[in-house]
Amino acid sequence: MKVLVGKKAPHFSEEAVVDGAEFVENFSLNQYLGKKNVVFFFYPLDFTFVCPTELIAFQEKLSEFEKRGTAVVACSIDSKYSHWSWLNTEKNHGGIKGVKYPIVADCSKMIAMNYGVLAGEYSFEDGQISFEGNPVAYRGLFLIDKQGVVRHQIINDLPLGRSVDEALRMVDALNFHEEFGEVCPANWNAGKEGLKTTAIDIAAYLTNN
């Protein structure tokens, strides 16, 4: 697995479905540079079991991300046509109708490979290409700042759904640090005190908490 924290998020330009119905060519995260943080997350496949719970959960909290100046973008190895069909299927039939944030189509699997979340790898031997593993993305999530730098990443195995509240907490932590210059201790939540980065201040915080 790649550790991308502290590095520029890998660039891509691919097809996506936006606002639940619109096909967009050459979709890129570059459109958010200098404007918004991005929560960019991968999921294994459309029309599965855990995946719709995650995508719907992110949609339910989308306004909270937007209030924090953060865009949400999803990605899987499915085609834009599969995304479109899933987005236009009612929830009681396994669909995610009502999801409005962009969903990227990574048919080549190159985005998943570059972000280090592909659940397997290709090999080339005797003139033949083979794949070992599962040719889908793990549940990877990346918090990317306005400069395009990855500030947080988490990767779950396929059966393990993520916490949207934890993603929001990390957005709050990043925004708090950038606004006040303080760092966020364990179990920090918005509204709590941060730590000034001097030994005296840290020692005082630990004594009082």
> Residue 113 pLDDT > 50, yes or no?
yes
Check 51, 75, 107, 184 and give the catalytic one.
51
Whole-number pLDDT of residue 200? 44
The span from the CA of 41 to the CA of 86, in Å, is 17
Same domain flag for 173 and 153: no
- Could you say which of 123, 139, 160 is where a domain stops? 160
Pairing type for strands 37-42 and 70-76 reads parallel
Same domain flag for 53 and 102: yes
For the whole model, what pTM was predicted? 0.92
Whole-number pLDDT of residue 69? 98
| Cβ–Cβ < 8 Å for 143, 68 | no
CATH number for 86? 3.40.30.10
Q: Is 184 a catalytic residue?
A: no
Q: How many CB atoms lie within 10 A of CB 74?
A: 24
Same domain flag for 98 and 32: yes
Same domain flag for 29 and 132: yes
The span from the CA of 9 to the CA of 176, in Å, is 21
Q: How many structural domains does the chain have?
A: 2
> Residue 67 pLDDT > 90, yes or no?
yes
Same domain flag for 30 and 99: yes
Give the domain range for residue 87: 14-160
The span from the CA of 86 to the CA of 52, in Å, is 9
Alpha helices in the chain (DSSP H): 50-60, 62-67, 80-87, 110-114, 164-180, 199-208
Same domain flag for 176 and 132: no
Name the average pLDDT for the chain.
Answer: 94
